[in-house]
């Protein structure tokens, strides 16, 4: 009887330890970049009749508003984002749903007069992959 009790206690104790899973889950794989998406983009002061006007990469401090105009092919049904940066600080993100191919879309960003220096804007897919980047300066 003592042997049976010792065996049950030993098996019960060992079974409890064996049931614990202390392994960490494997990290999720990074999302793959979007395939077959073509992106053309320009910075402009305005859009008229769905076409960018007064484009460039250097703008005066009093520019007021800038537009990132984008023509996308191969992204029908997807959401892309225009992500705006002043220096390395993200200052805006605009999700844009693409419902055709090719598709023209744009976002506007108010630029404060004191926000001079280096800027950039990125076009990203839903997974966060950068499809296009445009660097520009304000007030220099």
The pLDDT of residue 34 is 55
11 located within any domain: no
The pLDDT of residue 91 is 97
17 located within any domain: no
Average pLDDT over residues 94-112: 95
How many domains does the structure of the chain reveal? 1
Per-residue pLDDT tens digits for 57-101: 999 999 999 999 999 999 999 999 999 999 999 999 999 999 999
The pLDDT of residue 32 is 52
66 located within any domain: yes
What would the two tokens of residue 113 be? 């007069």
3 located within any domain: no
Quick one: which H or E segment has residue 87? none
The pLDDT of residue 15 is 47
Average pLDDT over residues 27-32: 50
Distance separating alpha carbons of residues 87 and 29, to the nearest angstrom: 29
The pLDDT of residue 6 is 52
Task: Please tell me the pTM assigned to this model.
Answer: 0.74
13 located within any domain: no
Buried b (16+ CB within 10 A) or exposed e, 8-18: eeeeeeeeeee
**CATH number, domain containing residue 101:** 2.60.40.2550
Q: What letter would DSSP give residue 11?
A: H
**Where in the sequence is the domain holding 78, given as residue range(s)?**
38-138
31 located within any domain: no
Residue 102, preceding peptide bond in cis (omega within 30° of 0): yes
């Amino acid at each position: 009887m003592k042997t049976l009790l010792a065996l049950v206690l030993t098996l019960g104790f060992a079974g409890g330890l064996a049931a614990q899973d202390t392994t960490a889950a494997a990290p999720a794989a990074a999302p793959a970049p979007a395939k077959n998406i073509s992106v053309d983009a320009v910075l402009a002061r305005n859009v008229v009749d769905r076409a960018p006007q007064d484009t460039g990469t250097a703008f005066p401090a009093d520019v007021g508003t800038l537009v990132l105009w984008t023509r996308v092919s191969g992204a029908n049904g997807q959401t892309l984002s225009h992500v705006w940066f002043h220096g390395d600080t993200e200052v805006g993100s605009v999700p844009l749903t693409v419902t055709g191919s090719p598709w023209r879309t744009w976002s506007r960003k108010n630029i404060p007069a004191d926000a001079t220096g280096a800027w950039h804007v990125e076009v990203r897919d839903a997974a966060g992959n950068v499809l296009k980047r445009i660097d520009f300066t304000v007030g220099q």
